Structure 1
Amino acid sequence: MKTVLSEVGSPRSSRKTLHRLALAGGTLVTALATVAVAPSSAAAGDVQPNIIGGHAASEPYPWMVSLQINWKGDPDFHTCGGVLLFRDQVVTNAHCVTNPPGQTVPELGWHVRVGSHNRNSGGQTAGVSKITVHPEWAWGAGAPEKRVADLALLKLDRKLDLQTIELAAKPARPGDKVRLLGWGVTEPDGSGPLPSMLQELDTTVVPAAKCAAWAISGGEICTNPNGTDGPCAGDSGGPALKKEDGRWKLVGGTSRGSEWCGTDTGVYTSSPEYRQWMYDTARGVPVPIPALPVPSKDPGYGLPFERLGGVK
């Protein structure tokens, strides 16, 4: 899984900001999503996460999700990763399904493919009937003092007959070994095409101070790409896993990092720290919406899908 991390400004700008690692905008401020163009032509602030330096998935991951839309003639365009938490509920990152600076969810005909290493075939598919974004998500406004809460729960239009993933009992700690999964870009320069087959990378959790440049906040963990490896565009929303009791359990979701994939640390939303919100949301329990700072303008992330079409 290659992660393309971007900085606001020119490709080699000294400004360190958040970039989305999703198949969306260009160089986002610390978020990991799939990017549609190379970093050299990316719009300032776009997030691009892919796994760089990884390899083909080595074992089954029946709960692994490819979040897709119908985009420019491709009915199954991969945008982000995710995991099947309940049979009809997928967890991904909020930046994958929102536009900055507001929290409007685009009506793009979201659907998922679950349980296949091949994002183009196999497994089971379902439509997305409802998207619930964590109420604290405001595109990093107020970070690091305020939680970024880059998290969303997607309700599917049917229950899938697949194994769901377990949440880890506790948040990952520095020194913990974790595994990253995704279909993000795998070339160090952030160019395509995206891999058809799921990629994985084993890495380590490091102290939060190592991710200070990405405005890491409470409810997040920092991973170490060893200076060469890490997530990239298209890896956004994908999981960080830790093995407990002989099983892989969810400890994080790919959020953001630097402009050049794999060259610095990456930030992941700490899934166990949002356990109650995910369970309450899945049950339909009303969740209070706190008063939050809202960016007065686009914070530099770029629109989530302005770069779609460049990476295939």
Structure 2
Amino acid sequence: MYGGRARHGRTGADVCDEGVLDRYSGGATPPSGTNGTATSTNEGIGPISYAQHTQHSTRARATAGARGARRRAGRGAWTALVATGLAAGITLAAAPAQAATQGPGQDGPGYSTRIIGGSDSTEAYPFVVSLQKERDGDPNSHACGGTLIAPDWVLTAAHCLSTEKLNDPAQYHVRVGSLDRTEGGTVAQVEKFVVHPEWKYYEDHEDGQDVGLIKLAEKVEKTPAPLATTKPQPGDTVKATGWGYTSAADDDPKQLPVKHQEVDLPVLDPSTPRCNSTPEDGDAWGIAEGDFCVDNTDGKVGTCGGDSGAPGLIKVAGRWEVAGLNSRGVGECATAADIFTSVADHHDWITSVIG
């Protein structure tokens, strides 16, 4: 998260950490009999399900295909790395493991940089989550943000969990309830990933429904965040949070901040032109049904790669509720509006999955 991010220049359009995840690119056709709901389990039998990959929409894309991969807020530095082993088309199983409190991780260069127009979080958020995996010798490299919404369920963006296929849950773990992504909180293993049945992965645009769930292998003793039941309205303020890049020039996961960042952003009317398109990419990454849009104040403040899946918070009756999931930017980091998936719009699906 920062002001002045360059989300286009990466290789996808979500705000995950693109250099951190390994994306499946084998071009395989989804197996027959799969439906739109993609889940990855530890059952050890049968093919992994796909989110159906259908024909691209007719949105104006300009150079979105080349630039878009960085637009997805959470894919950022992870997009180039998400699913080693998926190309073989094998069944993926998450090894059972107990949740455990972990010690400090490894620091790297660039961690002291703060978001432009934002700051290190000082208030405890027991529900904040860093989705992590091993990368380049770092066992706790940050992939995406998330929110604990039940003792054994984490809410995040679908693009953090899947491309043409679901990522292997066995490669991931989460750190819950720490403002430092390298230490503290509780570390838990992942049992399975679930993505919304209407979400579909596209290289060069986003059609919405960018919401997914992570089932943990064991319950954690942290306070979950309540789900918002009303959508933020124009003029409201949403607190964007995460561990995303703090400079437009950053593109290496080692440059992601260690300390959790936050910034207040105003909600825009969905008809606002900057919520819908840019001259460079048309409406490829604009607002869709089930989303809301926040402004990047003065073109200097906003979210970026590594912030995908992280919560947009609103305070209701003195408590924080998760109102949105960081999905993507309409344009370059902190120069265009940001798009969040609305939790209220997906409340029924979320609760139907977690029970």
Same-fold status (TM-score > 0.5): yes
What does residue range 49-68 of structure 1 map to in structure 2 within 5 Å? 52-68=116-132
What does residue range 1-312 of structure 1 map to in structure 2 within 5 Å? 1-2=1-2, 4-7=5-8, 11=9, 19-24=13-18, 28=69, 30-33=71-74, 35-36=76-77, 52-99=116-163, 102-107=164-169, 109-139=171-201, 148-191=208-251, 193-209=255-271, 210-213=274-277, 214-226=285-297, 227-258=299-330, 260-283=332-355
Partner residue in 2 for 1:291:
none
Superposed displacement of residue 189, structure 1: 2.5
In structure 1, what is the Cα distance between the partners aligned to 2:232 and 2:223? Answer: 23
Superposed displacement of residue 230, structure 1: 0.2
In structure 2, what is the Cα distance between the partners aligned to 1:141 and 1:71? Answer: 23
In structure 1, what is the Cα distance between the partners aligned to 2:346 and 2:219? Answer: 23
In structure 1, what is the Cα distance between the partners aligned to 2:214 and 2:294? Answer: 25
Query: Residues 79-115 of structure 1, C-alpha deviation per residue, up to 9 Å, x if partnerless?
Result: 000000000000000111112xx23324551100000
Superposed displacement of residue 139, structure 1: 2.4
Given that 2:7 and 2:331 are in contact with CA atoms closer than 8 Å, whether structure 1 keeps it comes out as: yes
Superposed displacement of residue 142, structure 1: 11
**Count of residue correspondences:** 262
Query: Residues 177-199 of structure 1, C-alpha deviation per residue, up to 9 Å, x if partnerless?
Result: 11011011111333551111100
**DSSP-derived class of the 2:171 partner:** coil
What's the TM-score once normalised by structure 1's chain length? 0.77
Identity percentage over the alignment?
37
Given that 2:12 and 2:204 are in contact with CA atoms closer than 8 Å, whether structure 1 keeps it comes out as: no
Structure 2, unaligned stretches of length 5 or more? 20-66, 81-113, 278-284
In structure 2, what is the Cα distance between the partners aligned to 1:158 and 1:198? Answer: 24
What's the TM-score once normalised by structure 2's chain length? 0.68
In structure 1, what is the Cα distance between the partners aligned to 2:68 and 2:230? Answer: 32
Given that 1:5 and 1:21 are in contact with CA atoms closer than 8 Å, whether structure 2 keeps it comes out as: no
Given that 1:18 and 1:256 are in contact with CA atoms closer than 8 Å, whether structure 2 keeps it comes out as: no
Report the structure number with the largest CA radius of gyration. Answer: 2
In structure 1, what is the Cα distance between the partners aligned to 2:166 and 2:139? Answer: 22
The structure carrying a bigger strand percent of its residues is 1
In structure 1, what is the Cα distance between the partners aligned to 2:176 and 2:245? Answer: 19
Aligned in 2, Cα 1:204/1:195: closer, same or farther, shift over 3 Å? same
Structure 1, unaligned stretches of length 5 or more? 44-49, 284-312
Aligned in 2, Cα 1:62/1:126: closer, same or farther, shift over 3 Å? same
Aligned in 2, Cα 1:262/1:185: closer, same or farther, shift over 3 Å? same
Given that 1:52 and 1:188 are in contact with CA atoms closer than 8 Å, whether structure 2 keeps it comes out as: no
